[in-house]
Amino acid sequence: MGLNRSSQPLILKERPRDGVALFAINRPEARNAISNDLIGDLAAAFTDAANDNEVRVVVLTGDAVAFSAGADIREMIDRGPEAVLNAQRDVAWATIADFPKPLIAAVGGICYGGGHELAMLADIVVAAADAEFAQPEVNIGLIPGDGATQRLTRYVGKSLAMKLMMTGSPIDAETARSCGLAADVVEPEALLDHTLALAEAIATKPAASTRLVKAAVLAAYETPLSEGLRIERAKLAEAFGTADHREGVSAFADKRSPMFGKTD
């Protein structure tokens, strides 16, 4: 799919906690720029996680320098528009966006362009205090093309979204939290431990419930309120039919800790 593929894996995969998969972007020499090979490998990792009943939550991260600096500009130089406007890349992005389980991004350092757009696919963003978020495509005569014009506007509102995309200037972690892009801000050395603890806490909850919460909340960004409320009620009805719900209310009545299942 891409050019000059490295012998090193582009995505490092671990299982650091029960029910939690950790994916780390691994192109440090390019500040974790998103090449076609990388986004394809990441989509494959998410497909595997979606089909693995032992994975209940995924944490996505980069390294201390960069979550991701954005799209691979060298690929754009070599391939022109086809570097980012191709069907395989579109399918890979859609695969990640459609991941049905909870996804948390642990963002440290630079989170620019396509990297920021990737972070916005997460359900929860935890930012290191040194993180910076930006959409700098205007600086090379482009506009965002992996969702920022739509998602960023929905998340932070028209005025701030316009400012970020028209100036290309970054915002810091505290600003990201204040405008709703990040849920937590922690010291850089605590980023991964904090995020994994959060993921582990979510992984102890009923898998069906967290999946249904995600589907219902995401519907709020794509539907009118009336339709979103209809979807919420439908997801609630689905939750009532799960074994985990029956176990949850039984445990409540018996005044004991629930024993939730491992699958949806």
Q: Would you please indicate which residues are annotated as catalytic (active-site) residues?
A: 71, 114, 117, 137
- The answer to whether the Cα torsion of 186, 184, 52, 35 is positive or negative is negative
Please compute, for residue 34, the number of CA atoms within 13 A of its CA located in the half-sphere on the CB side. Answer: 26
- The answer to whether the Cα torsion of 74, 76, 78, 84 is positive or negative is positive
Nearest to 117 by CA among 77, 80, 155: 155
Q: Give the C-alpha separation, 59 to 141, whole Å.
A: 33
Q: Which residues contact 153 (CB under 8 A, 6 or more apart)?
A: 161
